[in-house]
């Protein structure tokens, strides 16, 4: 198995499972940076087994390495700032754990795995609960980290008055985000989301935000080019 372009590798842990009746020697690890022509793994076994597992192996490693490669690009974009990149739950159904592993291989911080390990109060939840205060009150005894999304200055002020310690600021421009973060003045950690791309990630990171989240890392990553050659 050989890389056919520059990439950040992920998913090689699956190869021994895919080629269960073969001898698998993994040459490079998830998270490694590869260039065109770099060897990823050598699989020895019956031709039928190699051909049976070929497409599953390529689909898996190409897709997951694509996620890791895009994740690494976001991390490079904000290098030198205090901001860290988060992934999201915008993953392929059934593949969340694998795609989260791939994102981590690219250097981003895994955010929530599901609805069980943290509470993120978003706009729809605020409306359903009857407001920012009501939503926060209903999560007081959640036993997990609680973060709340605020979209207006009024919601921001109410969230801070209610003791919110984690804030998600959504769909702000970098200039607006910088102004809001200056107002928050360290009273809560700040995550920015919405409209953040690889091209503008650094501008958002330089606002003083603690985190930037991007669903694109998992939902829009391009599969990278990898070959599997039989000799």
Residue 183 gets which letter from DSSP? H
Q: Which tokens is 83 given?
A: 């901001």
Active-site entry in 32, 170, 179, 225: 170
206 is catalytic: no
Active-site entry in 122, 138, 151, 178: 122
210 is catalytic: no
Pairing between strand 33-34 and 41-44? unpaired
Q: State which H helix or E strand residue 189 sits in.
A: strand 189-193
Rg (CA), the chain: 21
| Nearest by Cα to 71 from 60, 85, 61 | 85
Give the Cα separation of 217 and 91 in Å (integer).
9
Active-site entry in 28, 89, 90, 133: 90
CB 34 within 8 A of CB 40: yes
Active-site entry in 29, 35, 36, 55: 55
Active-site entry in 99, 149, 155, 191: 149
100 is catalytic: no
Phi, psi of 227 (to 5 degrees): -110, 150
HSE, CB side, 13 Å, CA atoms: give it for residue 208: 15
199 is catalytic: no
55 is catalytic: yes
Catalytic residue ranges: 55, 90, 122, 149, 170
């Amino acid at each position: 198995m050989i890389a056919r372009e520059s990439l950040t590798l992920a998913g090689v842990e699956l190869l021994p499972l895919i080629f269960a009746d073969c001898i698998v020697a993994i040459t490079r690890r998830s998270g490694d940076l590869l260039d065109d022509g770099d060897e990823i793994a050598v699989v020895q076994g019956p031709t039928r087994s190699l051909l049976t597992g070929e497409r599953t192996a390529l689909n898996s490693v190409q897709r997951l390495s694509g996620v890791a490669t895009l994740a690494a690009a976001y991390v490079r974009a904000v290098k030198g700032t205090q901001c860290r990149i988060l992934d999201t739950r915008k993953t392929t159904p059934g593949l969340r754990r694998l795609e989260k592993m791939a994102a981590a291989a690219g250097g981003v911080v895994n955010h929530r795995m599901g609805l069980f390990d943290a509470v993120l109060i978003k706009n729809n939840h605020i409306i359903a609960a009857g407001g920012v205060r009501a939503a926060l009150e209903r999560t007081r005894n959640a036993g997990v980290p609680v973060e709340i999304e605020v979209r207006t200055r009024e919601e921001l002020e109410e969230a801070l008055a209610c003791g919110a310690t984690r804030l998600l600021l959504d769909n702000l421009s970098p200039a607006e985000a910088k102004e809001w973060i200056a107002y928050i003045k360290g009273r809560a950690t700040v995550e920015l989301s919405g409209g953040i791309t690889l091209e503008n990630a650094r501008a958002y990171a330089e606002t003083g935000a603690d985190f930037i989240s991007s669903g694109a890392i998992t939902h829009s990553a391009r599969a990278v080019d990898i070959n599997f050659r039989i000799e």
